[in-house]
Amino acid sequence: MRTAKVERKTKETDIKLTLNLDGKGQYSMDSSIPFLDHMLSLMCKHGILDMKLKAKGDIDVDFHHTVEDIGIVFGKAVKQALGDMKGISRFGQATVPMDEALASVSLDISGRPYLIYKVELPKRSRIRNFEADLIEDFLQGFVSNSGITLHVRSPYGRNAHHIIEAVFKAMGRALKEAVSIDSRIKGVPTTKGKL
């Protein structure tokens, strides 16, 4: 079982996260940010990941620190759970519709963190009290700490909730594909000999 447990405590946040890449899609999210909990739950369900998250942050100031730090911790957990990366498929991609919205995610477990985020959201998008543009900060924290190259694109959509939901479902499915073990792959999937 490829699992990880990561904790991060700063003056702004206190986060504990456990992850099982070979899970059953079971999750428990408690970040004090209901919309983010909902999105992470969708990602786990569609990525068949088991994850438990407990996060406290200075959300009375802003959601930014908590959202970004959860991305950092999730990235570290994925990297830790992948271990030596032997036999992984490495690449994953998924395109997911959510009513009128469409999102595509492509990723490469390359050891080279890079984020391309081309998501058109309605101006000043808020889902209840959640600022939709914080999703890019979450993903930047994730790629910087997982070593993953991640391309996220949503060419259209009217509702910010639907657009972001499609992104997280696609991310779960792409991650599931990339971390899957292929018995035909010997060692790591690169001609360099090391990711």
Q: Are 143 and 150 in contact (CB under 8 A)?
A: yes
Enter the pTM of the model.
0.94
Residue with tokens 């088991």: 50
pLDDT at 175: 98
CA-angle at 21, arms to 139 and 13, nearest 5°: 45
**Residue type at 72 in one-letter notation:** I
pLDDT in tens, the chain (195 residues): 899 999 999 999 999 999 999 999 999 999 999 999 999 999 999 999 999 999 999 999 899 999 999 999 999 999 999 999 999 999 999 999 999 999 999 999 999 999 999 999 987 788 989 999 999 999 999 999 999 999 999 999 999 999 999 999 999 999 999 999 988 888 776 767 676
Phi and psi (nearest 5°) for 128?
A: 55, -110
